[in-house]
Amino acid sequence: MNNGEKQVLVLAGEKNMVFLDKAKNLKTDFIKEETYPESIIEVKKNEKYFQGWKIEKKEDIEKLNQKSFAKGDSIILDFGTHQVGYLNLSIKTAGSPPDAPLRFKLTFGEMPCEIGEDFADYDGWLSSSWLQEEIKTIDVLPTEITLPRRYAFRYLQLEVIDTSSKYEVVFDKISCTSVTTADQNKVKKLPEAVSENLKEIDKVANRTLKNCMQSVFEDGPKRDRRLWLGDLRLQALANYHTFENYDLVKRCLYLFAALPLENGEVAANLFMEPEPQPDDTMLYDYSLFFAVTLYDYYLYSNDLKTLEELWPTAKRQIELGLERLNNNYLVEDSKNWWAFIDWTEGLNKQASAQAILIYSLKRGVKIAEELNELELADYYRKKIKLTSQAAHKYLWDENKKIFISGKEKQTSWASQIWMVLAGILDKKESNNLLNRIMNYSEALKITTPYMYHHLVEAFIKSDNKEKGLEILNYYWGAMIDDGADCFWELYDPEDKSFSPYGSNLINSYCHAWSCTPSYFIRKYYPDYEF
């Protein structure tokens, strides 16, 4: 995710160099693979297809190096599936010795829209510099080049801007050196009984996670290519059930702990280059997730040492979370305060934030008990009680039997989902609440795979695994039906051009927070009767 707006300036705190060194030493090696385009295609306008673009195979890929390209000629290649890596080109010439440079344009698309639509028309509010295009001028031909920037793409368009009247160019060999820190060999085969649909969803989810696993867990390899806490939490869960790269999770946790903001709050995200540093953004929910992610890591890894070392950072996040409570034990809502929750426009975050505080406090209790800090565990328990009571007292609409949020008493799916995950209702009540909100037409819905993850988890927690699976099939299955070979940052089945950024061109189409079907399928449904 990317909040994009200018924030109040938040200063970085003191770096913990011991943690930073630990993180640097945990850098895992990249696994490289050479991949090749599979076919020559056309991208055609067709309103029946997702976002109005249809891919049609035009020619066999074997034709590629038999073609020569003059000024204005272009070609579109399909690499068969989503790649993250470095493009290699071997370019030869036909005709006279080249008497002028070659200038050509490369456009990389995760999705057909990026090839079909003109980047020049982009007017979204995220930087257009994310649009993956490059113009190269080559003075010496023939040549073999590797583009220095890493790209995330399935489709590649090459357009020859100019050669000269005396020569043409041949794209003799094109490949991508794909990179990841995920080892495909670690992924266990799903049981035979799992449905083909679900197997396909699992495969695409795996690819999504794999392509986001770089020097850190990136949110999206096209954009923002950054370590966000909210994404990390979900990636780590999927990773434990697939690639099992514990070191990468550990590295990311140490990075966040090493680079706090001024008040000890972990940043919502970190930059890795030129040196690791925190972004000047904090999000109420993301900070609290540090404790949750640490607890999850300990559960899967049994790495007590890391739990001990990073617990002070996690504790500080809970402290800061509690500081925002008002006299009624409610998370104070205000305009200069940010929690992410979801991209739903106009969403009030108070109830969700209240629930996330409770959800995190409960993990805090577990860690405190594990580390024998029993007084602290008791203190957290008291806070859980008070904040849960406050939720029932101030955020519950007894007529609607729905949690409300903010001064306007907004009703949203998000508030109910998080209250269920916070566990302040019993399982039956939780299941009823979720069904109730989904049938309540006035409620604000959810728009991201991130919140769909939480919806599925909420149903599983409410002992309604069936409904969880149904949603999983419906939502992620629909993405596949719409052409996804990685899962997307944003998908609203009812508004397929949805983008919170003002243009679907800038959406990330391989996005970390969408990778959790693998987690659900492998954790909750291995023995499910399909």
Least gap, CB of 141 to its own copies (angstroms): 8
CB of 182 to its own copies, least distance (A): 22
| 165 near its own copies, rule: CB under 8 A | yes
* Residue among 155, 198, 148, 183 at smallest CA distance from 58: 155
Q: Interface with its own copies by CB under 8 A: which range of 16-24, 156-164, 190-198, 417-425?
A: 156-164
Q: Which of 65, 68, 277, 301 binds its own copies (CB under 8 A)?
A: 277
For its own copies, the closer CB: 129 or 336 = 129
Site track 135-154 with its own copies (rule: CB under 8 A), x = hit: x-x-xxxxx-----x-----
The nearer residue to its own copies, 6 or 335, going by C-beta atoms, is 6
Q: Does 5 bind its own copies (CB under 8 A)?
A: yes
Nearest-approach distance from CB 266 to its own copies, in angstroms: 15
Taking the C-alpha atoms of residue 180 and residue 177, their distance in angstroms, rounded to an integer, is 10
Interface pick for its own copies out of 29, 66, 129, 375 (rule CB under 8 A): 129
Spatial distance between the Cα atoms of 437 and 420, rounded to a whole number of angstroms = 12
Residues 6 or more apart whose Cβ sits within 8 Å of residue 369: 377
Q: Which range, of 119-127, 235-243, 319-327, 388-396, touches its own copies by CB under 8 A?
A: 119-127
Please report, as a single letter, which amino acid is at residue 215.
S
User: In the sheet that 410-411 helps form, which strands lie side by side, from edge to edge?
Assistant: 396-397, 402-405, 410-411
Stretch that binds its own copies, among 15-23, 91-99, 380-388, 462-470 (CB under 8 A): 91-99
279 binds its own copies (CB under 8 A): yes
Nearer to its own copies, 103 or 392 (CB): 103
Q: Which is nearer to its own copies, 219 or 342 (CB)?
A: 219
DSSP 85: E
Hey, which residues between 95 and 114 contact its own copies (CB under 8 A)?
96-103
3-class DSSP state for residue 402? Answer: strand
Give the separation between CA 38 and CA 81, rounded to whole angstroms: 9
The distance of closest approach from Cβ of residue 258 to its own copies in the complex, given in angstroms and rounded to an integer, is 16
How far is Cα 71 from Cα 159, in angstroms, rounded to an integer?
Answer: 8
Structure-derived torsion over alpha carbons of residues 392, 394, 396, 399, reported in degrees to the nearest 10: 130
State yes or no: residue 322 binds its own copies (CB under 8 A): no
Stretch that binds its own copies, among 30-38, 40-48, 155-163, 349-357 (CB under 8 A): 155-163
DSSP H helix total and E strand total for the chain? 14, 15
Give the DSSP per-residue string, 162-230: E-BTTEEEEEEEEEEEEEES--GGGPPPPPTTS-HHHHHHHHHHHHHHHHHBSSSB-S-TTTT-SEEHH
Q: By C-beta, is 420 or 490 nearer to its own copies? A: 490
Pair 219, 228: CB distance under 8 Å: yes
Whichever of 135 and 193 has its CB closer to its own copies, that residue is 135
Listed in sequence order, the residues at least 6 apart from 174 whose beta carbon sits closer than 8 Å to its beta carbon are: 36, 37, 64, 77, 87, 88, 89, 90, 156
Minimal distance, residue 138 CB to its own copies, in Å = 9
Backbone angles phi, psi at 57, to 5 degrees: -70, 135
- Cα dihedral across residues 123, 129, 130, 134: positive or negative: positive
Site string for its own copies, 181-210 (x = CB under 8 A): ------------------------------
Q: Which is nearer to its own copies, 151 or 488 (CB)?
A: 151
Position 7 contacts its own copies (CB under 8 A): yes
Residues 383-412 that bind its own copies (CB under 8 A): none
For the bound state, the minimum distance from the C-beta of residue 97 to its own copies, rounded and expressed in Å, comes to 5
Smallest distance from the beta carbon of 179 to its own copies, in angstroms?
15
Among 274, 336, 346, 529, binds its own copies (CB under 8 A): 274
Longest dimension (CA), the chain: 83
And the tokens for 78?
Answer: 């399909």
Q: Does 20 bind its own copies (CB under 8 A)?
A: no
The answer to whether 280 contacts its own copies (rule: CB under 8 A) is: yes
Provide the 3-class DSSP secondary structure of residue 158.
strand
Question: 81 or 277, CB closer to its own copies?
Answer: 277
Site map for its own copies, 212-241, x if CB under 8 A?
-----------xxxx---------------
In 10 A of CB 496, how many CB atoms?
A: 15
Q: Is 177 in the site for its own copies (CB under 8 A)?
A: no
The one-letter code for the residue type at 290 is F
Q: Are 449 and 475 in contact (CB under 8 A)?
A: yes
Min dist CB 144 to its own copies, Å, is 11
Question: 162 or 492, CB closer to its own copies?
Answer: 162
Q: Which one, 259 or 460, has the nearer CB to its own copies? A: 259
Mark out the alpha helices in 241-349 (DSSP H runs): 246-258, 284-301, 304-323
Q: Which of 523, 516, 511, 524 is nearest to 452 (CA)?
A: 516
**Minimum gap (Å) between residue 337 Cβ and its own copies:** 18
Cβ–Cβ < 8 Å for 350, 391: no
Q: Choose between 18 and 145: whose C-beta lies nearer to its own copies.
A: 145
- Compute how many residues bind its own copies; rule: CB under 8 A: 47
For its own copies, which is the closer residue by CB, 270 or 422?
270
Task: Give me the residues that bind its own copies (CB under 8 A), please.
Answer: 2, 4-7, 9, 71, 96-103, 125-130, 134-135, 137, 139-143, 149, 161-166, 223-226, 271, 273-274, 277-280
